[in-house]
Structure 1
């Protein structure tokens, strides 16, 4: 079974759209083949020549898109003309392994609150690293993040370059959620860092927009747990999105070998890693831990890929709520890395069904996906050293 269901100057660019940097004109339609319906959408290149783009965020009431590149560059892209330029004021990142500049989000009340939020890996004096969350005020005329401040540093720093997690979203109330990976620590037992909510590894954090801790966080009054933690027992959640109708926070999370999951967050929930899951140890068919449905102390995923299924190494995720593709409304889209396609899932309450893959003929590791709030076009970031951001649009008449 493949899946299971439980339940010139930056100012010149920014003001006038004059091309700066590596450009490919928008509107370049390429034919599709393979399992996707060629009549369902056209594919346009928005910008090309990016270095491992990781996160996407749209500037409200603006034709520009923010893109993070892993090596430490925040790029602003003119969605209409395809021009791009780097933004100054970005923090120094730990660009090694899976680390670097990771996700990006825009304050829900932008531009009245001109904050741009970044998650990134950064190191200490000993060369150890961890996931950071920070924000700066975007000066759109100058193309710079001003007064950048660190809001949260996940503890502890460790000697690993893997599993930073690092998606960040705002819910409907303007509260911020950020994922922190387990840092690829492989002590598979009850003492694993992900099962210890006194540290931030393998967790989802919940914070106010200024970085303070909400008083209604589930562990706020628990001296034995971190007060910023909303959920724990995660391995490496690299996708997170808000359900447009329920407001629930949904995540896509990497398993070990197979065992990848789609989860709905519950306050204080333990998501099992590594004491419970549908994973197997790398190179074997041996399960890691119990199956989540066998334990009352673990939240079962709403969808998973069990051991020996081949898995679905997941990345960025979004619910589609646009008008460009009415038949997609309410569907969940999740980037697939090793499988090299864009996954599409029908969601009906807690029932999830994987539909035919999109872009499966391209050989693209899909790192992130987001829907433009103004046009409903679906934007996709491709994970490669010389990579595009593309968009899916309704087919031309």
Structure 2
């Protein structure tokens, strides 16, 4: 299991929290693999944290509406909420499909069409069940009518196969790439066979993959496995465990992902078409509660794509959630840097990026006790918005000091 919400991980949670607190206390972090030293908590004078909305139930995804002050927030129990960023008022958006709210399942990510509002489609990922009670990741869309506060004519675009009896590892981030294609992460659903027959190593199914689709849900003709009888046409990359963060690099257009490992082994990856990301035959983590490595060292296998940054077994790890590159104007010193939510560690990860070289910087919000589920940059103000994962949770924003939001 991961350090994700609602599914207890007795091996990993306390270990990570203790490790982070110790790192902050001594001002350094033991180097392992690509991990680099942390100087300690970020300077509180860098920003002010303002509450935008309160009382949300496990918020999961954030999406700004172009030409509008409202922010769409998914709540895992099955509610889509429109929050006015100016006055903090909120209202539920009707027309959301039924979801499987159990374990890590529920209403998960949200994205708007690149041509919104001319194309008023809102895309949702969510867990839902079949007639046998098995569940899987779904992608659907509806037309947003803001005046009526509803998603109209909601349609299911894609259902990850197969359905399984598990309430974990749905993946479920969705973003539009610069090619206007939809990229959707699907987790491995927590299969525990660590050999080459693991579902993530079999691209004929959707588990442990990144799916690439046209905005209408059809298969792009240039997908890497189109017409390959040994792979699903929708699959863009495979060999993933549970990618819960995904974002587009603002300069290169590359798709970056943050992915949960096993006992540590967490990763930051850059997607390559047709790439095998190694899980579980090549991994930097260990089996839970042991020092036993899972598979080979990814750096020693030419047939897998290496992570650009990773945490090895017994380093404390980084159970990652939503991710974004900073491309606003409110914080010039953050331009081009990567922010990734940390769940069990309860802070906002901050990384300098130069090409594919990644350096971990001081954590943000490390003194709040917040599991950070998602992070996004407001396109109009450049403020950094953060969704806290809790049963009674806020959405907050980071603003320059003494700036009124």
> Normalized against structure 1, the TM-score is what?
0.92
The aligned counterpart of 1:390 is 396
Q: CA distance change for structure 1 residues 59 and 352 in 2, over 3 Å: closer, same or farther?
A: same
From 364, 375, 389, the counterpart of 2:370: 364
From 37, 50, 56, the counterpart of 2:56: 50
Q: CA distance change for structure 1 residues 93 and 319 in 2, over 3 Å: closer, same or farther?
A: same
From 196, 218, 221, the counterpart of 1:212: 218
The aligned counterpart of 2:149 is 143
Query: Which runs of no fewer than 5 residues in structure 2 stay unpaired?
Result: 1-29
The aligned counterpart of 1:343 is 349
Q: Note the C-alpha offset of 1:224.
A: 1.2
From 116, 119, 122, the counterpart of 2:122: 116
The aligned counterpart of 1:280 is 286
> Aligned ranges for residues 149-168 of structure 1 at < 5 Å?
149-168=155-174
Q: Note the C-alpha offset of 1:285.
A: 1.1
Q: Secondary structure of the residue that 1:194 maps to in structure 2?
A: helix
> Aligned ranges for residues 249-268 of structure 1 at < 5 Å?
249-268=255-274
> Aligned ranges for residues 221-370 of structure 1 at < 5 Å?
221-370=227-376
**For 1:79 and 1:56, how far apart are their aligned partners in 2?**
12
Q: Note the C-alpha offset of 1:3.
A: 5.4
Root-mean-square deviation (CA, aligned residues, Å) is: 1.0
Q: Secondary structure of the residue that 1:288 maps to in structure 2?
A: strand
1:5 has 2:34 as partner: yes
Q: Contact 1:99–1:121 at 8 Å: present in 2 too?
A: yes
Say how many residue pairs are matched. Answer: 370
Q: Secondary structure of the residue that 2:164 maps to in structure 1?
A: coil
**For 2:214 and 2:221, how far apart are their aligned partners in 1?**
10
Q: Note the C-alpha offset of 1:221.
A: 1.8
Q: Contact 2:34–2:311 at 8 Å: present in 1 too?
A: no
> Aligned ranges for residues 20-31 of structure 1 at < 5 Å?
none
The aligned counterpart of 1:196 is 202
The aligned counterpart of 1:18 is none
Render the CA deviation track for 1:262-281: whole Å, top value 9, x for unaligned: 00000000000000010100
**For 1:371 and 1:140, how far apart are their aligned partners in 2?**
22
Q: Note the C-alpha offset of 1:162.
A: 0.2
Q: Note the C-alpha offset of 1:255.
A: 0.1
Q: Contact 1:370–1:378 at 8 Å: present in 2 too?
A: yes
> Aligned ranges for residues 88-99 of structure 1 at < 5 Å?
88-99=94-105
1:62 has 2:94 as partner: no
The aligned counterpart of 2:83 is 77
Query: Which runs of no fewer than 5 residues in structure 1 stay unpaired?
Result: 7-33
Render the CA deviation track for 1:83-126: whole Å, top value 9, x for unaligned: 00110000000000000000000000000000000000000010
Q: Secondary structure of the residue that 2:200 maps to in structure 1?
A: helix
**For 2:32 and 2:107, how far apart are their aligned partners in 1?**
31
**For 1:52 and 1:170, how far apart are their aligned partners in 2?**
24
**For 2:298 and 2:238, how far apart are their aligned partners in 1?**
14
**For 2:191 and 2:115, how far apart are their aligned partners in 1?**
38
1:379 has 2:390 as partner: no
**For 2:370 and 2:34, how far apart are their aligned partners in 1?**
26
Moved over 2 A (4+): 1-6
Q: Contact 1:193–1:202 at 8 Å: present in 2 too?
A: yes
**For 1:217 and 1:56, how far apart are their aligned partners in 2?**
27
Q: Contact 1:347–1:353 at 8 Å: present in 2 too?
A: yes
Q: Note the C-alpha offset of 1:173.
A: 2.0
Q: Note the C-alpha offset of 1:42.
A: 0.5
Q: Note the C-alpha offset of 1:2.
A: 4.8
**For 1:388 and 1:178, how far apart are their aligned partners in 2?**
26
